Chain A
Amino acid sequence: MLTVLAVFIILIIYDLQKFIRKKEPVRVFVLYFFFMAAGFTVSLLLAAGKRPYSPSQMIEAVFKMIGIVK
């Protein structure tokens, strides 16, 4: 848990200081935080042992529903 937190904080700080120095548009921040937040949430959940359904499994479930994959 703490390791995950530490890794993400280091990554974000490293990138943010570059972004701020170069005065990036808001879009960059939004997209950056979207991906980072998604990654961070999932890895926290994984670290906590509560693994959410993964995209691959969802895709498989959808395919099974349609009946392409048995």
Chain B
Amino acid sequence: MEKTRISSIQLFMLLSGFLFGSTVILAPAAGAKKDAWLAMIIGGAGGGLLMLVYAAIASLNPSKTLVDILREKMGYVIGNILAVLYIWYFIHLASLVFRDFGEFICTVTFPETPITVVIGFFALAFVYGVNGGVEVMGRMSELLVPVVPVVAFIISLSLITVSDFTAFLPILENGMPPVLNAAFSYITFPFGETVAFLMLFPHLNRKEKLKKTVIVSAIAATVLSIIIFFRDISVLGSELMSRATFISHLTALLFPGFNVDPLLDINLLIGGGVKSAVCVYAATRALSQVAGIEDFSKLTSAVTTFCVVLSVWEYNNVLEILDWTEKVWPYYAIPFQIIIPLVLLFLSLWRKNKPSKVKA
């Protein structure tokens, strides 16, 4: 067990950076089109609850990581199997983040650079950070994540060029079902993905602040997403917004006077960096715990290399990614993000209450 500690503000920055992560590029809840903001409110509330579940699991099992909890509550064998599945899930998630990132850079910034090169160099830089451990990641995000909203607000100046503040009307044109669908996918992406933080929560220095931190970051992420949504729809209009590959980028293109889309790359580097760093960290930590290796950093380079390869291997083209993220991802994520954590929470509560009853 590492003895490193992170403060609650660092955890907040990590969580927010993680939640902004790829949502900077791939608009969440896009399926609801004009009503995405409604979906975001509903999904944000649901996502906050889900994150509270994770926080509750962590505080019921203090200073234990996800692997420890799984082994303790599910038994050694099942726990280890589930832990391996989680390892796969985190690796997969990291590779998806890599791919989103690479795809964006290759579409808009460096169209003639091979995606492998882009992802490879990105990975190289942050393996170094992950090897430093939780503390380094926490400090890094404390320094960098505040840049993300600043950039988002700078890009809002595009509103000078074109704006139509009634573009989100009419409300509920297609009724409630698409909104609820989008709200659900908003829960699984990005909120449910914070399940990876169960590997990080034990490092928080003041446990009593955990729930508050989690809730505040969920609110911050939702509010920022909604602001970004209104910014984008006011600039682009809903039809163009639903046709755009990368919505924020198109908005940035309309910045009056000069070219600000490199700013968006910065956002992506920060958000995507935090997200994939957390995922790789979680995967490697879990892996070394399952295998009984003390120092997780031995395996980071191998795991990251595999992630890079996986990310290139994953899809043939950009539309497969968007399609997959929209259609398959939510269902694929349910067991990892909702079912297993809920079972764990239930077991934790049950095991906790039982001995106390016996004592009484």
**Is there a direct interface between A and B, measured as CB atoms under 8 Å apart in the complex?**
yes
Cβ-defined contact, B314 with A35, below 8 A:
no
User: Which residues on the B side are within 8 Å of A36 (C-beta)?
Assistant: 302, 305-306
In-complex Cβ contact of A69 among B293, B310, B312, B331 (8 A): B331
B160 at the interface (CB under 8 A from A): no
Across the interface, name the chain A residue whose C-beta is closest to B88.
A55
Cβ-defined contact, B314 with A55, below 8 A:
yes
Cβ-defined contact, B301 with A15, below 8 A:
yes
B275 at the interface (CB under 8 A from A): no
Cβ-defined contact, A31 with B299, below 8 A:
yes
User: Which residues on the B side are within 8 Å of A68 (C-beta)?
Assistant: 331
Across the interface, name the chain B residue whose C-beta is closest to A30.
B291
A-B contact pairs, 6 of them (CB 8 A): A25-B293, A28-B293, A31-B291, A56-B92, A56-B314, A59-B328
Cβ-defined contact, B299 with A28, below 8 A:
yes
Residue numbers of A with Cβ under 8 A of B are 7-8, 11, 14-15, 19, 24-25, 27-28, 31-32, 34-36, 38-40, 42-43, 46, 51-52, 54-56, 59-60, 63, 68-69
B180 at the interface (CB under 8 A from A): no
B38-69, CB < 8 A from A: none
User: Which residues on the A side are within 8 Å of B301 (C-beta)?
Assistant: 11, 14-15
Known: A36-B305, A54-B310. 16 other contacts (CB 8 A): A7-B120, A27-B291, A27-B292, A28-B299, A31-B291, A35-B306, A42-B309, A42-B313, A43-B312, A46-B312, A51-B313, A51-B316, A55-B92, A55-B314, A59-B328, A60-B328
User: Which residues on the A side are within 8 Å of B287 (C-beta)?
Assistant: 31
Q: A27-B291, A54-B314, A54-B315 are in contact. Are A35 and B302 (CB under 8 A)?
A: yes
User: Which residues on the A side are within 8 Å of B299 (C-beta)?
Assistant: 28, 31-32, 35
In-complex Cβ contact of A35 among B92, B303, B331 (8 A): B303
B308 at the interface (CB under 8 A from A): yes
In Å, the complex CA distance between A46 and B310 comes to: 11
Across the interface, name the chain B residue whose C-beta is closest to A33.
B302
In Å, the complex CA distance between A4 and B275 comes to: 26
Cβ-defined contact, A54 with B332, below 8 A:
no
In Å, the complex CA distance between A39 and B120 comes to: 13
Cβ-defined contact, A31 with B332, below 8 A:
no
User: Which residues on the A side are within 8 Å of B212 (C-beta)?
Assistant: none
In-complex Cβ contact of A39 among B92, B291, B293, B306 (8 A): B306
B352 at the interface (CB under 8 A from A): no
In Å, the complex CA distance between A15 and B301 comes to: 8
User: Which residues on the A side are within 8 Å of B313 (C-beta)?
Assistant: 42-43, 46, 51-52, 54
Cβ-defined contact, B303 with A63, below 8 A:
no
User: Which residues on the B side are within 8 Å of A43 (C-beta)?
Assistant: 309, 312-313
Most chain B CB within a 10 A radius of its CB, from A24, A39, A52, A56: A56
B261-317, CB < 8 A from A: 287, 291-293, 298-299, 301-303, 305-306, 308-310, 312-316
User: Which residues on the B side are within 8 Å of A56 (C-beta)?
Assistant: 92, 314-315, 324, 328
B351 at the interface (CB under 8 A from A): no
In Å, the complex CA distance between A34 and B287 comes to: 12
A64 CB, min distance to chain B CBs, angstroms: 9
In Å, the complex CA distance between A27 and B305 comes to: 18
A30 CB, min distance to chain B CBs, angstroms: 8
In Å, the complex CA distance between A7 and B119 comes to: 14
User: Which residues on the A side are within 8 Å of B308 (C-beta)?
Assistant: 39
Cβ-defined contact, A19 with B298, below 8 A:
yes
In-complex Cβ contact of A60 among B92, B309, B310, B324 (8 A): B324
B317 CB, min distance to chain A CBs, angstroms: 12
B209 at the interface (CB under 8 A from A): no
A21 CB, min distance to chain B CBs, angstroms: 12
In Å, the complex CA distance between A36 and B301 comes to: 9
Q: A42-B310, A59-B328, A68-B331 are in contact. Are A28 and B298 (CB under 8 A)?
A: yes
Cβ-defined contact, B92 with A69, below 8 A:
no
B303 CB, min distance to chain A CBs, angstroms: 6
In Å, the complex CA distance between A28 and B92 comes to: 21
